[in-house]
Structure 1
Amino acid sequence: MTEPAWQDRVWARHRRRTGAVLIVGTGAVGGFLAEELARLGFSPLHLVDPDILEVENLVRHPLGAPALGQPKASGLAGRIRREFPPCEATGVDADFLKLPVGEQLWLAEQADVVVAATDSAACQRRVNAVALAARKPAVYPAVWVDARVRDAEVGEILWVLPGRRTPCYECAAEFRNGAADAQAARGTRLDIQLVALATAQVVAALADPEDEHAAILDRQRTAVYLHGLTPTSPAIRDAFPTGGLESRNVRIPFPDRPCPACHGSRLRTWDAARTPPDEREGARWAHVAAFLTIVFIVMLLFLVLAGRFIRS
């Protein structure tokens, strides 16, 4: 069977999503996410990660034992090209933080959606800055394993729209009160795959607002928290009192002071964050009309007073 005929049969039953995605971090969450995006039809995928696959990664990574000792990014890109031929996947075996600034920006500019799935807060912040500079929507999936939560009970997916329409990663970091770096170090495979699948829906929605997955996005709430299948610890029972598999959309507020990355704050972005574009345009013209009315009244009063002064 020729390749075009093979692809026709695949996409005859499933609507193919389109768009380029940059994934920084191809560990547990990023690895499964890359495969899911390839299945959905996204292409090209640019994968960036400096690490190699080690024994402790095997239980929570799509690459198996034959890939031990190989770079995660290029190894995963090769696997995707073999198993999902319609997807053009490339791997960059490098630390995103150490790439030249121009290359960082170029990678982001080539993408329709940027994903940061690393276990480094510094790298997440850098991806945030680059995505904002390139004016690209970005997604930040993670699994909480800080001291307050045991064994990756909570997955977090934050999405950011450019132009201060939503709080950015730095804004969310302040919201978390400086929690430890979120990572998937102790997460079980089920928890990690759950976060990866939900993240794929967010990416699909950002790439195409008309996609059926767009329902996962909430203009007022720009993060999803997922409770996995592990036992519930006291630290999160208030958020997920019933335990078990559950999700919840959360509104990440803008900080009180201007954010150092996106410069957004509650005062400066209140209308932009909560008002639809058509309403904002109407409000803008209303402000202009009010200003012109005030100017007209002031000029009229000036002319009346000037006339009285001349007559006197």
Structure 2
Amino acid sequence: MTQKLQVVEGEASFYVPSTGQLCKTWYKVFGDLSTSKQTPLVTLHGGPGVSHHYQLSLVDLAVNYGIPVIFYDQIGCGKSTHFPEKKGDGAFWNDDLFCDELDNLLEHLGVRDKYDLLGQSRGGMLAASFASRRPRGLNKLIIANSPASIELWVEGAMKLLSQLPPETQEIIKKHERDGTTDNNEYKEALKYFYNTHICQLNPWPKELEDSYGPNEFNVIGSLRNWSIITQLPNITTSTLVINGRYDEAQDVAVEPFFHHIPVVNWVQFHKSSHLPQWEQREEFMEIVGDFLMRY
């Protein structure tokens, strides 16, 4: 089924008090927010530091279900305002900043009274943090390929790293120890991990290539001690949790969502790693679409 979609790009002004600066959040909407009878879906990309591009397969939900789908680049990413002077500033880059930005975008787009959220990877962490604050208008929540704590994420990632060929493990450890992660040998070794546990498609979709950045097992800065586990009982909306069989978001990191969110379903894609929206695209859209359309 195909249909012509209205597509609108824009920018929402966003004031950041700690900088005294009026910033911008870039967004793109597929579908008509003013006429659609379906609840709009706001998507939160991963990272930190990547853009919305790799999430664009979710346009399928607009085409197949008539759901308006909203993409945006989080502050510091893509076409939104960047703060290079804040690099490494853990006090600045925190959940409050990104939740305030999301609040502002919802108001700007006029969808505050009813909307769904889908966060993927780091975006799912942010979506869980946002939902735990019981925001007005949140209808349904999807947490895709995300950990409930960084400690559990690293535990799972280290287990996956230990399963790589010994020579590949040694190359990765050597260059991370020596601070030479710009070395081509390191990048080639990392590709092996990425092609197994991030996306198993060959070649990668262009949208993914347009978004992705460096390594996934060393977490530094303000995310190092991040955990949402104790706040999960505060999430009162119906929630769908997703991961892949070969996902770097291993079951150990995902299980707390299932055990502590009151109304939750967990679906695992058995032929996918970190990006089932590409690796098992049709099945992913059916499960997500059916969840969103269920009243």
Interval containing the TM-score (normalised by the shorter chain)? 0.3 to 0.5
Higher-helix-fraction structure: 1
With normalisation by structure 2, the TM-score equals 0.34
- Flag the structure with more relative contact order, 1 or 2, with Cα contacts below 8 A and sequence separation at least 6: 2
Higher-strand-fraction structure: 2
With normalisation by structure 1, the TM-score equals 0.33
Q: Which has the larger radius of gyration?
A: 1
